[in-house]
Amino acid sequence: MARMIIVGLCLIVAAALGSALYAADTHLLWASDGLTKVLRSDLPPQQVQSLEAGGARNEIVGAQAVLRTSSDVASVSCAITDLRHAEGSSIIPKSAIRLQWVRYIDIARNSDGVPADELVAKAPCSIPDPLWEDPSIAIKANQSQPLWIEIHVPESAKPGDHSGTLTVTGTPSPLTLPVRLRVWDFDLPKERHLSVVNWWNFPGVGFEKVKPYTDPYWDLLSRTCAFLVEHRQTDINASIGLIQESGNEQTGWTYDISRLERYAQVVFEAGIRRIHLHSVGRSTAGLTEPKSVASPIESSFRRLAEVEKLIRKRNWQGRFLVSIMDEPFIYHEETFSQLVDRVHRTAPSVRCIEAVEAEYFGKLDIYVPKLSHLNLWYPRFEQVHREGSELWFYTCCHPVGRYPNRFLDQSLTKARCLFWIEYLYGLDGFLHWGLNHFAGSNPYSEEGISQGLPLGDRAVVYPGRNGFLSSLRFSAQRDGLQDFEYLWVLEHELQKIKQRVGAEAFWLDPRQRPLELCRRVVQSFHEHTRDGQTLLRTRQAIAEEIETLHNGPLLVVQTSPPEGSVVPAGPRNVIVRALVDPGAKVTVNGKAVGHLRPSGYFQLSYFMPDGKPTLSVEVEHNGQRRVATRTFVLTD
């Protein structure tokens, strides 16, 4: 029997329904993936479907189901069973699964600068994004209503298939959908290998009744930080004004640092890694004015000295960052670099980070250019990265065009691709300014999340009754960060093999294979797939390669040039190096390899015939078989 390929969050055909789908008084429930923005007008597919998902232990797996009714329904609710392992020996409890209906934002315009073929829908229309807080929702006739599903895969979960049933009630008769989760045999790291911050306004719109620095305030801070950590955000921002200053130049200054200390204690205990403090400088004129210079805010520098004392007192080295002035321009380069030096003198334990609009800003610890500027000025930023500075990128109301971003009217694939770009270039972090910077009084509106900016640029979470609520876009960010960790795990496993084998693995570059897979999804800072299934299939391929490295038979293949390279005629000589289990039987495109070293290492030159761009390596060991393929682009 052919092995069923489980595409993470794919759709599996079970039986044809034909025209019965569209009969009167029909109520339908079908599966969708975690990358589709289901529009109200979307129609069900022609087949009944199971909801299929895949994830590693310690991962949050996102998927969707979609309900459509032929008549109004006042209230529908949903429930899911435990997911039971195929062997019946273990379960993923339903308490580890979160079900949330998806809300819509009505839009009257589209984001400026985004080509029409890069939009999920043309305005005016409604676009799904916020996740609904209540367990039930009203359904209008002939409008598709998605349900967002999150499965928190326990660390104890047994590898293999787990099955259960999703049920929707409130319709004339209950609707059910089979659910199957494939648990991959590896752990998603608890440690975050990419730094992420979305600047917030805490507590912000929706929490005006929470009095600052009271017990409810600290409780809300703890819960919202835990929510951010669950979505793999590592850092938050805070005002340096949390430090209260009193006095004057004549009598001297005194400081009360207790608010910042309590703030830091709460967020660190919730799992946040670092705090970004704003700001110790300002521009003396408009950012694009040639006469403008970067000028210190003396009261902020005085407070910064108190931060250094707090760090030393609490042993919080490495946990505070500070910015000088947001988005310094080319005219600020010299004066800005002087302020960077002053920060390092004033607070040696505080690292300096900035979202920059030019190239030369002194000894910044963390450079954060805009994604499009990182693309245009990459050689300079690559240099500072090599010299020891961290290199992040940020998005905001730019870039537009065909770059990936997280605008409301763009696809979720674009939002998720951002973190594949991070891996492709070996970057260190991501920044966005707008976690919850709402405008006006209604955060669940186009104006609330977009005023004056591309759609959704102001916010990616929403206020609920007891804390922040997620969105499709924020969930896609988390899923993209988990994709990044898949690539990291594959690299890490290959690094361990290289260290174990020793000298005869001198050739093995642990990043080459993850990069080959990564390039199936993103090819540069702006070139990326628009097909969500390509991303999901690639993610599955990464998971399968990690599993095989754990479980065998061992097959590590590295080619020169890498997979996907253009190989012109001349002849086409591809160098193949590989590691297998000692004593294994190996063939390359059907021809036996008979010169394995005791370590299991072999190498050969393969002359690729015209019209045959794929190289296939097959290994058999202890009754198990594995095949690795590498495909190239052949030209004359």
Element spanning 298, H or E: helix 298-314
For 303-357, write each residue's pLDDT tens digit. 999 999 999 999 999 999 999 999 999 999 999 999 999 999 999 999 999 999 9
Strands 294-296 and 462-463 come out as: unpaired
pLDDT at residue 68 greater than cutoff 60:
yes
CATH code, residues 200-472: 3.20.20
Residue 594 in this model has a pLDDT that exceeds 50: yes
Tell me whether domains 11-187 and 491-635 share a fold: yes
Full DSSP string of 499-515: HHHGGGGTT--TTHHHH
What's the CATH fold of domain 491-635? Immunoglobulin-like (2.60.40)
Phi, psi for 477 (deg, rounded to 5): -60, -50
Q: What is the pLDDT of residue 178?
A: 97
Looking at the whole model, is its pTM more than 0.85?
yes
Please give the single-letter amino acid code of residue 225.
C
β-pairing, 73-80 vs 160-169, is antiparallel
Domain boundaries defined on the chain: 11-187, 200-472, 491-635
User: In the block, which residue shows the tokens 């787990």?
Assistant: 162
pLDDT higher than threshold 70 for residue 14:
no
CATH number of 11-187: 2.60.40.10
Give the strand pairing for 60-69 and 145-152. Answer: antiparallel
557: which 2 tokens? Answer: 């293949």
Which residue has tokens 């929707």? Answer: 168
* Residue corresponding to tokens 């310690």: 58
pLDDT reported for residue 16 = 34
| Separation in Å, CA 414 to CA 4, 119, 220, 456, 542 | 28, 11, 31, 14, 20
Residues constituting the chain? 636
d(CA 183, CA 9): 12
Question: Residue 15 above 50 pLDDT?
Answer: no
- Answer yes or no: are the C-beta atoms of 290 and 320 closer than 8 Å: no
Instruction: Quote the mean pLDDT of the chain.
Output: 94
